[in-house]
A and B are shown apart, each in its own frame.
Chain A
Amino acid sequence: MTAVIENLDPLLRALGTTVLILVISAAGSLVLGVLITVARVSPIPVLRGAAWAYVQVFVNVPLLALLLLAVFALPDAGLLMPLTTTVIVVLTVYEAAYVAEAVRSGINTVASGQVEAARALGLRLSQTLRHVVVPQAVRAVVQPLGNVMIALLMNTALAATVGVVELTSATNKVNLVAAQPIPIFTAAGLTYMALALAIGLAAGRIEKKVAIHR
């Protein structure tokens, strides 16, 4: 336990990095994911195909391969960003595919009568999507989206493999010096669990608040 307390400062700073990466990529992937879903159900075949391809790529290629590509390979093509920014961008585009999958299954739960009613009122497709379909679709999948965000939290740990000093990386570093794996890794594990629990509880709260009672 002493090892954790003595190294509290670097560990807390690393936790800050983890939370920073988590919050920015969570917000980014939610927005991007909804946009991809909209493209995926649009009447324009090209957009539908592009959105489909996007989801296929990011659901089937390992995040680690994408991270290595973005961090170590793309600078060869002159595409170089600060390290943490690169990781945030990769996590955002990766997790957006999962958000898109979740929201799409939400769209399938919207009753077709809703759409017909919106059309009967004279709403255009963009208005129908914005005011009728997407709000209901997202409400129906709050819990799955919470799970995607928990997966995102787990995936922020991969930033350690490309050199970002976030919680997992700092845990490892502290342990290499202090050599007390059990307390140090337990503390890190409990922190991740607490963060995941917070996301889960928030999702539960939000779901209860926005649920549609039919």
Chain B
Amino acid sequence: MSHSGAFLYDAPGPRARRRILLGSVVSALALAGVFALALVQFGRTGQLDADRWTPFLDWPIWSYLLVGLRGTALAAALVAVLAGAFGVLLAIGRLSQNRPLRWLCTGYIEVARTLPVLLLIYLMLFGLPAYGINLPVLWKLVVPLTIANAAVVAEIVRAGVLALPRGQTEAALSLGIRRSQAMRFVVLPQALRHVTPSLVTQLVSLIKDTSLGYVVAFTELLYRAQVLSAYNRLLIQTFLVVALIYLVFNGALSYLAARLRTRVRRQVAPPSGPAEQAADRELETPVVR
């Protein structure tokens, strides 16, 4: 009994164990029932026929989808690098002593966090060409995603900096180094290490967002799935397979984030005051998309 809810109940006695067993059986039956209903529905409409699934055992389909996966990786890598760099700069700007810079960065972050990416993409696709701005397809996807993700990264990094004990900055300043140096050599390295799990979680959400390549017709996984399903008419099968690919890759990253999170928590001394506890909590859940 080591899962997160374990503190909610005592170690079960014989009666509780019987009840848990009963509950397990009932809920397993209920879940199996729902699953069976879905299978019956799929079977009745012929979606379970072998010839609708066997094409996915052939290499050509996989190589076709893998090209899409490469596009997803390319777009995600570009956005991750650009939004990461831009986000760190924004976080520093929002924390800086310079008032105009602080307001500018705060304003950007607050605006970019509350604009749907799709709206920016439509602006890229149908709005800006009227002004002669017509980027290649890849950048029509990468630029809006960078605009949105940089703001989120900035907030994650800022939370990390704020969660760091103030003594770190004070000690650095008392050694006679400048504020910018203290940020660069003392505060940021520690803060970034703290928020690595949240950044990995944000990477997952960013990879999910690259599926908007479907809208701009950039060759990524979901777009390829759409083209493939229009060709082979196996809509359910294709989309389920693609969802599974996303699940495997992002699931692995999410698992990595969870592992990192427990490691970071073990390395960091247990929070003492309520303020630090709150900051700690904030670190856990700033990523919501």
Contact = CB atoms under 8 A, between A and B. Distances in A.
Contacts of B240: 69
Contacts of B236: 69, 73-74, 76-77
Contacts, number: 197
A46 B122 contact: no
A125 B23 CA distance: 14
Nearest to A146: B288
B122 A62 contact: no
A176 B114 contact: no
B250 interface: yes
A60 B246 contact: yes
Interface stretch (A5-13, A85-93, A108-116): A108-116
B119 A48 contact: no
Contact of B117 (A72, A153, A154): A154
Contacts of A157: 116-119
A193 B111 contact: yes
Interface stretch (B8-16, B92-100, B172-180): B8-16
Given A63-B208, A76-B47, A151-B288, A68 B3 contact: no
B5 A56 contact: no
B246 A77 contact: no
B252 to A, nearest CB: 9
B285 A101 contact: yes
Interface in A82-141: 98, 101-102, 104-105, 107-109, 112, 115, 119, 125, 128-129, 133, 140-141
Interface in B100-125: 111, 113-119, 122-123
Contacts of B226: 68
Contacts of A155: 116, 289
B7 A40 contact: no
A73 B115 contact: no
B115 A192 contact: yes
A214 B159 CA distance: 23
Nearest to A60: B250
B128 A189 contact: no
A60 B247 contact: yes
A61 B7 contact: no
B127 A185 contact: yes
Given A61-B246, A64-B222, A181-B127, A43 B119 contact: no
B254 A59 contact: yes
B266 interface: no
Contacts of B285: 101-102, 105, 141, 144, 147
Contacts of B243: 61, 65-66, 69
A25 B251 CA distance: 25
A168 B211 contact: no
A182 B127 CA distance: 7
Contacts of B118: 157-158, 160-161, 168
B134 interface: no
Nearest to B116: A157
B170 interface: no
Interface of B: 3-5, 7-10, 12, 16, 20, 23-24, 27-28, 31, 41-42, 44-45, 47, 111, 113-119, 122-123, 126-128, 130-131, 204, 208-209, 211-212, 214-215, 222, 225-226, 229, 235-236, 238-240, 242-243, 246-247, 250-251, 254, 274, 277, 281, 284-286, 288-289
Q: Which 3 A-B pairs have the closest CB atoms?
A: A41-B5, A181-B127, A157-B116
Interface of A: 40-48, 50, 56-57, 59-66, 68-69, 72-74, 76-79, 98, 101-102, 104-105, 107-109, 112, 115, 119, 125, 128-129, 133, 140-141, 144, 147-148, 150-151, 153-158, 160-161, 168, 171-172, 175-176, 179, 181-182, 184-185, 188-189, 192-193, 196-197, 214
10 contacts: A43-B20, A44-B24, A56-B254, A60-B208, A64-B212, A74-B236, A105-B281, A179-B130, A181-B123, A192-B119
Given A61-B243, A62-B222, 19 more contacts: A42-B23, A46-B23, A56-B254, A60-B247, A61-B208, A64-B211, A64-B222, A72-B239, A73-B229, A102-B285, A107-B5, A119-B10, A144-B285, A150-B113, A154-B115, A155-B116, A161-B214, A172-B126, A175-B127
